[in-house]
Amino acid sequence: MKHKQLHSIAHNFADSLASGLGFVVGMFGTDVFADAASNDDGVVSVDFLNGTIKGRTVDDRLPRAISLYQKAFPQFCAKHGATESNFRQFEVRFTHLAPTTGFAVTIEDDKGRVSTEDYVGTPGKRIVKLDALGRRR
């Protein structure tokens, strides 16, 4: 599967957690940005493949949700024509630096290609950058 397609799958999966609604795991409400805000650096990192969290959480809802997300990931991949083994790494760094929220999705595919994309807001949208000629990228 192409790397960009894997990144799209990862973004959609992470965006479900960022939305706070958790539709991927059956309406499990969380506020990952409140958890991020509770840390001095305003960051909570989630490794979806291993089901781990780096950073302090406000309550036990996020750790419970991440366990559910980890279990749901293979089925989510299959629904989109991929497999969990297409991913060597899938980490998301959620940030809350008032008034802005966002997240960065980092993946490594099964061929060893690594990329990180930054998204702002909810739903997560790519950050628009202008190149030297003023074109949107």
Which of 14, 8, 4 has the alpha carbon at shortest distance from 123? 14
pTM to 2 decimals?
0.89
- What is the chain's pLDDT, residue by residue, as a tens digit (137 residues)? 999 999 999 999 999 999 998 889 988 889 999 999 999 999 999 999 999 999 999 989 999 999 999 999 999 999 999 999 999 999 999 999 888 899 999 999 999 999 999 999 777 777 767 778 778 76
- Count the neighbouring beta carbons within 10 Å of the beta carbon of residue 121: 12
Largest CA distance in the chain: 48
* Per-residue pLDDT at 133: 78
Question: Is the distance from CB of 31 to CB of 18 less than 8 angstroms?
Answer: no
Which of 89, 80, 85, 92 has the alpha carbon at shortest distance from 107? 89
* Per-residue pLDDT at 122: 75
| Letter string b/e over residues 39-57, b meaning 16 or more CB atoms within 10 A of that residue's CB | beebbbbbbbeeeebebeb
